[in-house]
């Protein structure tokens, strides 16, 4: 049914599966009974095409979205640094650097509170 609204195609919707969902004027519901279905089809054929519907948009959202994205200024997130990272800079020995980061706090990085 999605494209039929854009082209104005008349639709007969048989059964209750779509009950509760939005539908446009080009959709005529009918119970699953022969006489009701035939009557709905005849009514839709007599009506002919409907005007294109914009119930779910006008078909140009991709262009508007691309234009909006092109105007965005990207946000650059600051990087989180622990105090110990600064102390460990310039230390060539990896074990010594790790000791600076973890040893003073019983195995947790400086700055980590556990919350």
Give pLDDT tens digits for 61-94.
889 999 998 898 877 666 555 555 555 556 666 6
Give pLDDT tens digits for 19-55.
888 888 899 999 999 999 999 999 999 999 998 888 7
Number of domains in the chain: 2
Contact (Cβ atoms closer than 8 angstroms) between residue 84 and residue 101: yes
The pLDDT assigned to 59 comes to: 79
Verify that 18 and 36 share a domain, yes or no: yes
Residue scoring higher pLDDT (16 or 5)? 16
Verify that 42 and 23 share a domain, yes or no: yes
Verify that 43 and 60 share a domain, yes or no: yes
Verify that 8 and 55 share a domain, yes or no: yes
Residue-range definition of the domain harbouring residue 7: 2-71
> What does 6-35 look like in DSSP terms, one character per residue?
HHT--EEEESSTTTTS---TTEEEE-S-HH
Verify that 59 and 106 share a domain, yes or no: no
Verify that 67 and 82 share a domain, yes or no: no
Verify that 89 and 103 share a domain, yes or no: yes
Q: Name the average pLDDT for the chain.
A: 77
Mean pLDDT of 95-115: 55
**pTM recorded for the entire structure:** 0.49
Beta bridge partners of residue 27, listed in sequence order: 11
């Amino acid at each position: 049914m999605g494209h039929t609204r854009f082209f104005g195609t008349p639709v007969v919707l048989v059964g209750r599966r779509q009950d509760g969902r939005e539908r446009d004027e080009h959709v005529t519901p009918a119970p699953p009974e022969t006489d009701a279905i035939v009557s709905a089809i005849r009514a839709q054929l007599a009506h002919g095409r409907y005007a294109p519907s914009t119930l779910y948009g006008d078909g140009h959202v991709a262009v508007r979205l691309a234009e909006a994205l092109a105007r965005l200024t990207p946000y650059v997130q600051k990087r989180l640094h622990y105090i110990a990272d600064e102390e460990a800079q310039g230390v060539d020995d990896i074990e010594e650097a790790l000791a600076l980061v973890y040893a003073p706090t019983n195995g947790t990085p400086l700055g980590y509170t556990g919350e």
